[in-house]
A and B are shown apart, each in its own frame.
Chain A
Amino acid sequence: MLEMFEDKSTLGISIGVLVVLITFVILWLLRSKKSTRKNILLIGASNSGKTRLFCELVYQKDALTQISIVPNRGDAVIKDGGKTKTVSLVDIPGQDKVRRKYFSLYKRSAKAIAFVIDSLSFQKECKDVAQFMYEVLTDETLSKTKLNFLIVCHKQDIDLSKGQSFIKANLEKEIELLRKISTSALTSTSGSSGEAKSNLLVKSNDSNKQFEFSHLKYTNVEFCETSCQNFDPLRNWLLSN
């Protein structure tokens, strides 16, 4: 076999080329593995029940929780009749101080996003929730791909909590207002971030109408009502993703 090569230099060069090629292939494989979107993110304001939901889904245990400082990561095994599915979940802290940091860390790996809302204190926190949601929806890296977005109206087991239709209507109103604030820059300067953001948000023919979640260009938004006793809608949504 070795006699096929006339002198040793040809052998050396060919081996060298082979090694380089193999490294490239390995590197490419590694990178492509990293860039796959596989995580499902649990986001939302602080004290909306993200970590509790995470514990229920991953450890099947109703744990007590405190304010999160770092994200939780884990695999949830979901059984539905005959089939089982493993979903990798990431629970992002909701505190204003840290959520941007961790959200931008995990957003590239996001396959789908569940936005958890505390239905009980929604009226009080409406502005903050809408602001965060607007930030997420207008995020440039996220809006480039089609994304499933579930708005989880949590804590429905408490009597005074708001229903999903009320929450939806209020969020749409708030986001419309936020859009107005950031797109008022449209009139003077062109190509500013405000204009770009509004373009990301809605289809062009809907841009002058009142904002609705169905107008979103890329994101597919669904709503559901859950509580810690009954979070089947969330589980079904996870199965479908």
Chain B
Amino acid sequence: MLDLFTIFSKSGIVLWYFQGTTQLFTNSVNELIKSVILQERGVQSAWNHNTLSLQYKLDNEFELVFVVAYQNILKLAYIDKFLNEIQLRFRDRFKQVIENCQYGHNFDSFKSDFDEILADCEREAEEQAQMARKPRKYEESEKSSRTVASMIETKTTLIGSLVQSATNSTPSEKTKGKNEENVENLSANLIDDLESKKSNGPSPRPAMRKFEPKSKKTPTSPQPKGKAPKKWDDNVDVNTLDYSSPSNDSKEDLTTSQYASKKDIGRSIGELKPIEVNYEEEIEEVDDYVPETNKNKSKLTSNKQNGKNSTGLFSSLKSLVGGKMLTKETIQPVMEKMQEHLVSKNVAAEIATKVCDNVAQNLEGKQLGNFQFATTIIKQALHESMVQILTPKRRVDILRDVFETQRQKRPYVIVFCGVNGVGKSTNLAKVTFWLIENNFRVLIAACDTFRSGAVEQLKTHMRHLNALHPPENHGGNQMVELFEQGYGKDPAAIAHDAISYAKDARKDVVLVDTAGRMQDNEPLMKALAKLINVNNPDLVLFVGEALVGNEAVDQVRKFNQALIDNSPVKTTNPDLVRTIDGIVLTKFDTIDDKVGAAISMTYTTGQPIVFVGTGQTYADLKSLNAESVVKSLLK
């Protein structure tokens, strides 16, 4: 029944394997490692690849992986049990060998054990199936043990119960008065309780609260940003109010506006700088897990003042350094704390659970060293796991790829999509600025043909960008150009025209701005899928704001799903389906240390965060530094 069973070390050496058919399985197992184990998605149930179902189990003590594969039309109920048994047997037999990492040892003798366990499990599953199928005999049922007399409801018992319910529902005057008294007493008690609770201070959850606000970045430019207020009196010149005539533009100094100043020029040449996060002292409070039930209020307040309290430390010692091996029981309480902490940092609840479950799965059975606290180990594991989630699984280097398309004499096309008001156009302008700084000629395609003012917004950006980088500095070439066909047209067609125009005009990059759309809007999602399928861009970026919590997962997932569902090749060639290739995380400066959206979005899509928008000026575009994001998450 099994197509493949293989045991390999985490370092990738196959120790022993059994193959039911002659199919090649290395690729399937590699895919499993790549898209499940390395993505930190600990799925307990089977994972499907083509027609195969794969299920795995990690042995963290000896660093082994056990994988089973079978045709996914089969429903094999015994796999979990089988994996457990196999793991135990394999450890027993080769303990000495694997402890010393002697992977060169010959494990062929395991075949007999394997056959035995498999036969056992299969037989047991068979028996259970048999049992479930057969109807119970009458003698086995509960009914058979009862006497006939007990089943007859006599009149007297019925009447008795009726009378009782009647007295309950219509109480006499006397009892009513009594009841009212009772109620009054009760409410008085309640109020007392409430008041005493109030005076005892805030609710007993100290661990989550103390996040000092970080020092905000001081604004770089001394002059006040924004527009000056206009005075509306009688001697306002009508001509100054006319913004439609181009003559006004020349007077206005475009280079020192709210978007950017001259000194920003040249700042973002080359690769983008990673975001900086001030590492403040790590607050240890999450570390010392103290069971809340055995704390009274006076201890709590002192605990808050002194940070670490001796009783708290002692109880954490007792609860966490008990065993030398990490078990489910030791991990569970700490994990719950961690999960709560992640949710408080704006990680979507669903994702926080999944991440923590996976870490728990990776830790179970790990040996603790001397003087190691379980919490520190768990925290470290969580840290590593989240860094791994944020680390891109492939190379993301737009500049390099633009050089490549330049050689091929075609423009590099990036499509920006996302829900309304997340900052698609703004960040598109920032990306444009970054590309110009690197001496690429950019064409912006205004494919937001729906929202009024969208084209004008891009026009304004274009004017500012051209003012910052005048053609004189770039060999007479105008660096940014806007391709627009007004409102109401088909965006896919505009994008197509823009790309062919860019090809003729020897532009290096085409940035396609699309209309914002909610993820549930079916027709608009279809239009987006059409735009992407028709034009086949080099990069599809999803723009999402860092402010969202649980919503982030839904947005990204539905956008991705819509692109898959509306793809013309989804049945014929599923490998060619275009999905989101990367994420732009905007409004990152507004969230302080609640950076959870970064984790939620990358976990859901498995795609990297390419850009991070961190402010209002053109130069406020950064790349993501996984290490610093995780640090502020676990703070």
Contacts and interface: CB of A to CB of B under 8 A. Distances in A.
A166 B511 CA distance: 35
B548 to A, nearest CB: 25
Interface string B254-269: 0000000000001101
B10 interface: yes
Nearest to A63: B13
A184 B440 CA distance: 12
Interface string B13-37: 1100100000000100110011001
A51 to B, nearest CB: 5
A100 B12 CA distance: 17
Contacts of A178: 400
A69 B269 contact: no
B58 to A, nearest CB: 9
Interface in B343-397: 384, 387-388, 391-395, 397
Interface string B593-631: 000000000000000000000000000000000000000
B13 A65 contact: yes
B393 A97 contact: yes
B104 A60 contact: yes
Contacts of B487: none
A91 interface: yes
Given A55-B104, A74-B101, A101-B384, A131 B33 contact: no
A65 B38 contact: no
B603 to A, nearest CB: 13
Contact residues on A (Cβ < 8 Å of other chain), bracket? 35 or more
A177 B400 contact: yes
A51 B395 contact: no
Nearest to A60: B104
Contact of B269 (A71, A127, A177, A184): A184
B269 A96 contact: no
Interface string A45-68: 001000100010011110111111
Nearest to B13: A63
Contact residues on B (Cβ < 8 Å of other chain), bracket? 35 or more
A66 B400 contact: no
A128 interface: yes
A181 B271 CA distance: 7
Nearest to B608: A96
Interface string B75-112: 00000000000000000000000000111100000000
Contacts, number: 125
Nearest to A195: B270
Contacts of A18: none
A68 B34 CA distance: 10
A182 B269 CA distance: 9
A143 interface: no
Contacts of B38: 67, 69, 95, 97-98
A178 to B, nearest CB: 7
B391 A66 contact: no
B388 A72 contact: no
A65 B12 contact: yes
B271 A68 contact: no
B114 interface: no
Contacts of A61: 104
Contacts of A101: 384, 387-388, 391
Interface of B: 6, 8-14, 17, 26, 29-30, 33-34, 37-39, 63, 65, 101-104, 266-267, 269-271, 384, 387-388, 391-395, 397, 399-400, 403-404, 438-439
24 contacts: A51-B13, A63-B13, A63-B14, A63-B104, A64-B13, A65-B12, A66-B30, A67-B34, A69-B12, A71-B11, A72-B12, A96-B391, A100-B391, A101-B387, A131-B397, A131-B400, A181-B271, A181-B400, A181-B438, A184-B269, A185-B271, A188-B266, A192-B270, A194-B271
